């Protein structure tokens, strides 16, 4: 289990804990820190028992401390619970449960689930149907999002999901008779991501919203039984999905960090994303071309990809579209007004981002067709879309998006090319040389490390750009914030003189995204304005200039492709800035890769 938790650590690493059953008693060990540190202190990998649950936490309610770490126990110590998501009405439930005599130990919203389950008399019943139905009824008390797994002192595993992923991996599965819809397996693995168990089995079932499950031994039968019920307590039959084994490739190899490994993998992932499944491409392109209105949404780096998509679709494809950050979608409902054939293109690396899924559900209610760009074809977003296409980048463990971002961009280039062709324009971008150019960018690592050494003490970094490069300025700022904990800001170059210039002085670092395209002269003018105030100027360009104190040279390519190559040295800069400032680039503080809460 410790190894599985290490694989899941990208979802949260504030604290970690495990509960197991031994001699009909629950044993819990948990503490603050990442998996390796807590394991070294508490010997998690030496806990006794053949059934257990574990959790790595990303704090939402309550401070990061030992008490608030999962698992949480019921009052009688017979039920342990781990939970992802947010119980929005936890204060109300806590007050009700305290009035009933329950005693709380933590400040988390998650603990209410353990006490709710404890108050169910059906938990002690031997009938799985009765247990499932009783849990389903109690779930109506919860508001918000959740996926939880509970372990009883009898070694029974049970849980449910609603707007949070939960997947059950099955070792050597088989079916019962058609009447009871039971599944049997030699082993059972329950996780929020297939990475948690993919090295043990490639067979799994995906729980739908509101579904409840129970896993238990069947008397003297060494096999486990798995029963799934819907929110009405009715047993449902679940399809067994086969998962691609390539998801198991999460080893760092020769690299010091996952982040660096994934930056270097871009020499393959970019071309793989561009040369995508023709059938899925055709379906997506056809839907976009025939839509009356296109809205593109995403969060974080995927929002920056959405801004790129808007630019490409508007300039190359001449399509009318808008880009809205997913967390603001509900406040921009004017985009949903009107008839016709609107389409929402949702972009998400994880496919589980709560803000993106909320936008999808709102758009669906307003008769939008849903298309998505994902990295996991098994994700919730893919399964809730009418059309989806994968970037095929493979697992990305580093919390900051690197290869997934450039793969999204590469796929958006391909989509733009295909849309242009469908409208009679034979467009070529020269993507066949992408691997060569990416390799050249990666060969600059020593130079970039030197730059990081020079500017590592900077408190403020400004990245200026125009046009298609503005999305990359935002992405660079995000990477510097995430990895090196430096205040960084992406700015429209033309807006520098409308306020931000007041912040520029001799202590400022200004990164200028300035390849030789139609934006070159105007951006160079803004660079002169910053230089005149004493700023240290870093030029990212295929053309040298005396205005730059340091130059990161990129290849001269088709003007639309510059963003793809200028972002890679900036990723390496953020990575090396993190190292110079003693920050862990794989696990930035306070953030998680898959943000499944609002």
Provide the token pair at 300: 């974080």
Q: Highest mean pLDDT range out of 114-123, 216-225, 416-425? A: 416-425
Question: Strand order of the sheet with strand 52-57?
Answer: 25-32, 15-22, 52-57
Residues 68, 44: Cα–Cα separation, whole Å: 18
Among the listed residues 82, 65, 66, 69, the one whose alpha carbon sits nearest the alpha carbon of residue 117: 82
Residues 48, 43: Cα–Cα separation, whole Å: 11
Residues written for the chain = 598
Among the listed residues 585, 564, 4, the one whose alpha carbon sits nearest the alpha carbon of residue 255: 585
Check residue 249 and give its pLDDT: 58
Average pLDDT value for residue range 4-33:
86
Q: Is the predicted pLDDT of residue 527 greater than 80, yes or no?
A: yes
- Tell me the three state secondary structure of residue 253: coil
- Tens digit of pLDDT for each residue in 251-308? 676 788 889 999 999 999 999 999 988 999 999 999 999 998 899 999 999 999 999 9
What does the DSSP assignment read for 300-340? THHHHHHHHHHHHHHHTS---EEEEEGGGGGG-GGGG-S-S
Check residue 232 and give its pLDDT: 79
Residues 408, 113: Cα–Cα separation, whole Å: 38
- Tens digit of pLDDT for each residue in 405-447? 999 999 999 999 999 988 888 877 878 888 899 999 999 999 9
Average pLDDT value for residue range 443-453:
95
Residues 140, 129: Cα–Cα separation, whole Å: 18
Check residue 350 and give its pLDDT: 87
DSSP β-bridge partners for residue 30: 17
What does the DSSP assignment read for 359-401? HHHHHHHTT-EEEEEES-TTSHHHHT-SEEEE-------SSS-
Provide the token pair at 511: 């990164």
Residues 375, 388: Cα–Cα separation, whole Å: 10
Lowest-confidence pick of 66-70, 171-175, 338-342, 549-553: 338-342
Check residue 464 and give its pLDDT: 97
What domains, with CATH codes, occur in the chain?
69-247 (3.60.20.10), 255-427 (3.40.50.10490), 435-586 (3.40.50.10490)
Check residue 597 and give its pLDDT: 53
Check residue 313 and give its pLDDT: 93
Q: Is the predicted pLDDT of residue 178 greater than 80, yes or no?
A: no
Check residue 6 and give its pLDDT: 82
Query: How do 509-513 and 460-465 pair as beta strands?
Result: parallel
- Using alpha carbons, list the distances in angstroms from residue 135 to 53, 98, 139, 323: 19, 20, 6, 41
Average pLDDT value for residue range 529-554:
95
Query: How do 293-298 and 487-492 pair as beta strands?
Result: unpaired
- Tens digit of pLDDT for each residue in 550-585? 999 999 999 899 999 999 999 999 999 999 999 999
Check residue 179 and give its pLDDT: 62
- Using alpha carbons, list the distances in angstroms from residue 209 to 58, 293, 294, 383: 22, 29, 28, 12
Average pLDDT value for residue range 543-548:
93
DSSP state of 235: B
What are the backbone angles phi and psi of residue 510, rounded to the nearest 5°?
-120, 120
């Amino acid at each position: 289990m410790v190894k599985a938790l290490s694989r899941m650590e990208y979802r949260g690493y504030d604290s970690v804990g495990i509960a197991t059953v031994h001699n009909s008693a629950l044993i819990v060990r948990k503490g603050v820190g990442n998996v390796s540190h807590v394991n070294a202190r508490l010997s998690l990998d030496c806990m006794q028992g053949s059934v257990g649950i574990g959790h790595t936490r990303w704090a939402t309610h309550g401070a990061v401390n030992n008490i608030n770490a999962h698992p949480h126990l019921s009052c009688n110590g017979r039920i342990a619970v781990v939970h992802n998501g947010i119980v929005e009405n936890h204060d109300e439930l806590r007050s009700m449960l305290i009035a009933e005599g329950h005693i709380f130990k933590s400040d988390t919203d998650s603990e209410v689930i353990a006490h709710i389950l404890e108050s169910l008399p059906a938990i002690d019943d031997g009938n799985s149907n009765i247990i499932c139905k009783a849990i389903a009824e109690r779930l109506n008390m919860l508001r918000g999002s959740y996926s939880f797994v509970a372990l009883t002192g009898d070694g029974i595993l049970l849980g449910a999901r609603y707007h949070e992923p939960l997947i059950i991996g099955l070792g050597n599965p088989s079916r019962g008779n058609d009447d009871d819809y039971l599944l049997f397996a030699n082993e059972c693995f329950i996780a929020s991501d297939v990475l948690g168990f993919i090295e043990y089995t490639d067979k799994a079932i995906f729980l739908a919203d509101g579904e409840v499950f129970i896993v238990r031994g069947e008397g003297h039968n060494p096999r486990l039984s798995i029963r799934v019920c819907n929110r009405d307590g009715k047993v449902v039959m679940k399809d067994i999905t086969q998962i691609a084994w390539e998801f198991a490739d999460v080893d760092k190899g020769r690299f010091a960090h996952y982040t660096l490994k994934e930056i270097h993998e871009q020499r393959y992932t970019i071309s793989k994303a561009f040369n995508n499944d023709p059938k899925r491409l055709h379906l997506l392109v056809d839907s976009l071309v025939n839509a009356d209105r296109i809205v593109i949404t995403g969060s974080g780096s995927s929002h920056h990809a959405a801004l790129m998509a808007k630019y490409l679709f508007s300039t190359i494809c001449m399509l009318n579209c808008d880009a809205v950050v997913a967390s603001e979608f509900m406040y921009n409902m004017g985009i949903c007004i009107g008839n016709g054939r609107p389409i929402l293109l949702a972009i998400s690396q994880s496919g589980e981002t709560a803000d993106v899924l909320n936008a999808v559900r709102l758009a669906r209610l307003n008769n939008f067709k849903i298309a998505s760009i994902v990295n996991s074809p098994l994700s919730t977003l893919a399964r809730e879309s009418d059309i989806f296409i994968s970037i095929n980048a493979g697992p990305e463990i580093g919390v900051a998006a690197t290869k997934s971002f450039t793969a999204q961009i590469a796929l958006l280039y391909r989509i733009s090319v295909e849309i242009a062709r469908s409208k009679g324009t034979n467009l070529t971008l020269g993507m066949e040389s992408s691997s060569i150019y990416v390799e050249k960018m990666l060969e600059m690592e020593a130079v970039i490390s030197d730059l990081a050494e020079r500017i590592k003490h900077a408190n403020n970094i400004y990245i200026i750009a125009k046009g298609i490069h503005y999305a990359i300025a935002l992405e660079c700022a995000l990477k510097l914030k995430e990895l090196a904990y430096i205040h960084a800001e992406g700015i429209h170059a033309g807006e520098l003189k409308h306020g931000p210039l007041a912040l520029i002085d001799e202590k400022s670092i200004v990164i200028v995204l300035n390849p030789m395209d139609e934006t070159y002269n105007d951006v160079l003018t803004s660079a002169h304005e910053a230089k005149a105030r004493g700023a240290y100027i870093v030029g990212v360009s295929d053309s040298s200039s005396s205005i730059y104190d340091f130059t990161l040279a990129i290849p001269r390519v088709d003007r639309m492709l510059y963003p793809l190559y200028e972002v890679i040295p900036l990723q390496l800069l953020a990575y090396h800035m993190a190292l110079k400032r003693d920050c862990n680039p794989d696990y930035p503080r306070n953030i998680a890769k898959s943000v499944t809460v609002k």
